[in-house]
Structure 1
Amino acid sequence: MLPVGPGQAHPAPDQGTVQAVTVVDDRGHTVLFAQPPQRIVSLLPALTESVCALGACDRLVGVDRYSRHPESVRTLPVLGGGLDPNIEAVLALRPDVVLAAVSTRAVPRLEALGLRVVALEPQTRADVQRVLQRLEAMLRGPASDMQLHGDLRSAHVVWQQIEQGMQAAAARLPVQARGVRVFFEVGQGPYAAGPQSFIGETLQRLGVHNVVPEQLGPFPRLAPEFVLRADPDILMTGVQAAGLAYPGWSGMRAVRQGRICRFDAQAADVLVRPGPRMAEAAALMAQCIADHVPPAPPQQTH
């Protein structure tokens, strides 16, 4: 019998015509299903969007308060925050599985109540691809059952669309945008998107330079003075009034020259989700960069 890798589905022995689905989550826990789950609770927006992108939105029965895309999930019961969901409300929905972040404090309690929990927490582009593959394995079941779930989309197809969208966003940027120095604020503090984060990886794909050093981690909290000294060409933020709220920033070149992209709530919701809408996020960043490329220095004549 061939070995089974993480996230792959395989038939359980001695089950007759019933075949089990096995998924290994990001904790390394193996979760076994007698059949692909039909009632799913999602407590992380990126997982909600991924389930829907794979064509299984109709299996969702409840979501966390931050899951707002696609539009259809807004009609579902809201079960509180992803980190601290309403346990009783989750239990009342009788889900076949609860999808949650590894960091969700409620996971042990949900499992103690007899619920299956698959903990997945994408933070990088590679994570997003892997999560799509594991969710497809869970949703579709064994290869021999593929005809039963022909309405599902392939994780490979979804990932290829993300890749193609990101390539298209990068191709639209003018040549003078290459190497532009960018600071992306993800939260007041300022908290930054470092090069190791999925946002930082997208900036790299667009050919610009992230002023945050890689060794500080994916989402470090920085001293405002650090950003002031880094003096980025462009500031990106989804935070109200950012770029002006910290001491000294009003004198930063990017602020003085208006090279700030303040994304509204709808755009920010796209930008901070490591999931199927990363190509849309890349297009938003690319448009910001194209609109705010600093002018080239004048050519010196001799």
Structure 2
Amino acid sequence: MRIRAALAALSLLGLSALAPAAPIAIKDDRGASVTLPDVPKRIVSLLPSLTETVCELGDCARLVGVDRFSDYPASVRALPKLGGLDDTSVEALVALKPDLVLLGVSARVIDRLEALGLKVVALEPRSMADVQRVLGKVAQVLGKPDDARRIWNRIDGAISLQAQQLPPAARELSVYYEVDAAPYAAGRASFIGEILARLGPRNVVPAELGPFPKLNPEFVVRADPQLIMVGQRSANGLPTRPGWHNIRAVRDKKICVWVPGESDVLVRPGPRMGEAAALMARCLRQAAAGPVPWPTTPFNAPSGGMR
């Protein structure tokens, strides 16, 4: 009897191994419902934060192509580069025969890819809640929901740790964070603004202006922040903007200038947000102690342009 029971159990195991995988159903940030027959084996990612999310979940090997800006982790730099949001090479992408294309909601190529029969999931993280949700959706696609919870807890814990270690003087500063020289700012409603809020300083750009509003430069002059955070691309001309010499941050030389590698960490809403918090915390500590040193290496735009 025991032998027959063991044989029956082995038979059931064999049948379960041969059973087809359950389809994966997901609703993306357009509200579109996408059904995948199985965990995708060949993925194209057209957004750096999504590329980093796939890799953080341990599935870099499933990526067969990425956008021109995806450069982390180092292994993705060898993958075919397929352009950006506005100039994706559809022919090169189709030739890679992906099971799934991950991209941002604003990508112009969505309709064309779907017309060609490709599975497309559009995700657009803007806030920290969005990042957590997108992490969960990508993990669902990859069949790793438990890993998403683990990774999010690590990110959240890293931000909390940075906040706990900041001295009171650093937490009391007022901050203007510029993401582009138009100027576009990181408002309190953005993931950058939310990290800043967790650290403690006051963001001079209110939430009601939206996550990344385009500002009248006079707004920043009137706000008179004690500290400015800005990428190296925009930093050199910043002190000479009309009226900006009167801003406390400019007058007191409290401007944190991010080199390109640091900017990438800070502007990508994904797994490296704990590192972004550490960069901001370093800046806040420096500004609380006195003038902030500028980078000593000149700015060189990465090949392929900037975002």
Aligned to 1:299: none
The offset of 1:17, in angstroms, is 3.1
Contact 1:43 1:82 in 2 (8 A): yes
Q: Which runs of no fewer than 5 residues in structure 2 stay unpaired? A: 1-17, 291-307
Deviation at 1:236, TM superposition (A): 0.3
Match of 1:210 in 2: 203
Secondary structure at the counterpart of residue 178 of structure 2:
strand
Confirm or deny that 1:233 pairs with 2:226: yes
**Structure 2 residue aligned with 1:292, among 284, 287, 306?**
287
CA contact (8 A) 1:84 1:104 kept: no
CA RMSD of aligned residues (A): 1.6
Q: Which amino acid aligns with 1:160?
A: N
Which amino acid in 2 is paired with 1:222? L
State the TM-score, normalized to the length of structure 2.
Answer: 0.85
Matched residue type, 2:201:
V
Give matches, 1:1-302, under 5 Å.
16-140=19-143, 154-238=147-231, 239-293=234-288
1:147-174 CA distances to partner (integer Å, 9 max, x unpaired)? Answer: xxxxxx7000110110111011111210
User: 2:26 aligns to what SS in structure 1?
Assistant: strand
| Distance (Å, rounded) in 2 between the aligned partners of 1:209 and 1:36 | 43
In 2, Cα distance between the equivalents of 1:83 and 1:129? 26
The secondary structure found in structure 2 opposite 1:27 is: coil
Letter in 2 for 1:282: A
CA contact (8 A) 1:194 1:213 kept: yes
Identity among equivalent pairs (%) = 53
Moved >6 Å (runs of 4+): none
* 1:65–1:82 CA contact under 8 A, matched in 2: no
CA separation of 1:245 and 1:221: change in aligned 2, threshold 3 A: farther
SS at match of 1:140: coil
Verify the 8 A CA contact 2:43 2:99 in the aligned structure 1. yes
Return the structure number with greater helix share: 2
Tell me the alpha carbon deviations over residues 210-263 of structure 1, each in whole angstroms, 9 at most, x when there is no partner.
001221111111111110111001000013415314211123221121100011
Answer whether contact 1:132 1:155 (CA < 8 A) is retained.
yes
User: What is the TM-score when the length of structure 1 is the normalising length?
Assistant: 0.87
Deviation at 1:196, TM superposition (A): 0.2
Relative to structure 1, is the Cα distance of residues 16 and 240 closer, same or farther in structure 2, using a 3 angstrom cutoff? same
Unaligned runs of 5+ in 1: 1-14, 144-152, 296-302
- Structure 2 distance, partners of 1:294, 1:209, is 18
Between the aligned partners of 1:206 and 1:294, the Cα distance in structure 2 is 17
| SS of corresponding position for 1:41 | strand
Shift of 1:16: 5.0
Question: How far off is 1:18 after superposition?
Answer: 3.1
* 2:247 maps to amino acid: M
Looking at CA atoms only, which structure, 1 or 2, has the larger radius of gyration? 2
Give the whole-Å Cα distance in 1 for the aligned partners of 2:247 and 2:226.
9
What per-residue deviation string (whole Å, max 9, x for no partner) do you get for residues 72-100 of structure 1?
A: 10000000013331110110000000001
The question of whether the paired residues in 1 share the 8 Å contact of 2:171 and 2:284 is answered with no
